[in-house]
Amino acid sequence: MQYKVIFFDWGGVIANDPGDEFLGDLLTSIGATEQQKKEIFQTYMVRFMEGKITERDYWEALRQKYGLAIHDTISEEFKKWKGLVANQEVLALARQAQQKGVKVAILSNVIEPTYNVIKQAGYYDLFDDVIASCKEGCAKPQKEIYELALERLHVQAKESLFIDDKQLCLDPATELGMATLLAKDPAQLVADLQGIIANP
C-alpha cells in the first residue's frame, strides 16, 4: 500500500453518526433556544472541544450565561449517543490495513465526555494512536492538529491518508500534502476503503 498511516475521523467515519445532531438535541433538552445553540457551538463548544475549558466549566458557563437547567448526571447522556456504535465493516478494514503494516490512528474533534465514553468502550485501544482535540488544545480545521498527527505517527504528509465526513476538515490536510477521502455515506466509504487497502 502506498500509505504508511491512515487517519480516521470518528463520528461520520468509524461511527456512522457524526454527532452534531446529538449535541444539538442535548442542548435543546436542557432548554436552549436555536439562537442560544448557535452561540454555544461558536463559543463554549469550541473551547470545550479544544480542551481549553473542563466539562464542569462548560456546563457551569451554560448555566450562568443562559440559565439552562443542567442536571448533575448530564454526562451520562453521552452514553446514549449512537456514535458509540462503530461501523464493524470500517473497523475490519482498519484491521486489514494494520495486518499489511499500515498504522491506523484516530484524528478527531471530540469533547471530554464523548472521548471518555469511546475510550471506556475500548475502541481507542484498536488504533495505534488517538489524536483527540480535547486532549491536544487544538481542533480541525486548525493546521496545528494535522501537523501534530503527522509528528506523532512519524510520517510525512505524502505517506498518509486522512478520512473525514466534512470537506472543511479535509482541506487543510490536502494543503499539507496528505491524501484525503470524503466519507459521504457508509456504503461509499467501505467501497472506497476496500479499494485502497486492496492495492499494493
Written as nine digits, the cell of 199 is 492495492
Residue type, 32: A
Question: What is the predicted pLDDT for the residue at 200?
Answer: 45
**Whether the Cβ atoms of residue 133 and residue 42 lie closer than 8 Å to each other:** no
Spell out where 121-176 has E strands. 129-132, 160-164
Question: What is the predicted pLDDT for the residue at 91?
Answer: 96
pLDDT along the chain (200 residues), means of 10: 92 92 94 96 96 94 94 90 92 96 97 93 96 97 98 97 97 98 96 86
Q: If we measure between CA atoms, which residue out of 110, 35, 37, 30 comes closest to residue 63? A: 30
Phi-psi region of 67 (alpha: psi -120 to 50; beta: other; left: phi over 0): left
Q: If we measure between CA atoms, which residue out of 126, 53, 130, 64 comes closest to residue 95? A: 126
Question: What is the predicted pLDDT for the residue at 1?
Answer: 58
The single residue listed with the C-alpha cell 501534530 is 148
**Whether the Cβ atoms of residue 193 and residue 163 lie closer than 8 Å to each other:** yes
**Whether the Cβ atoms of residue 6 and residue 13 lie closer than 8 Å to each other:** no
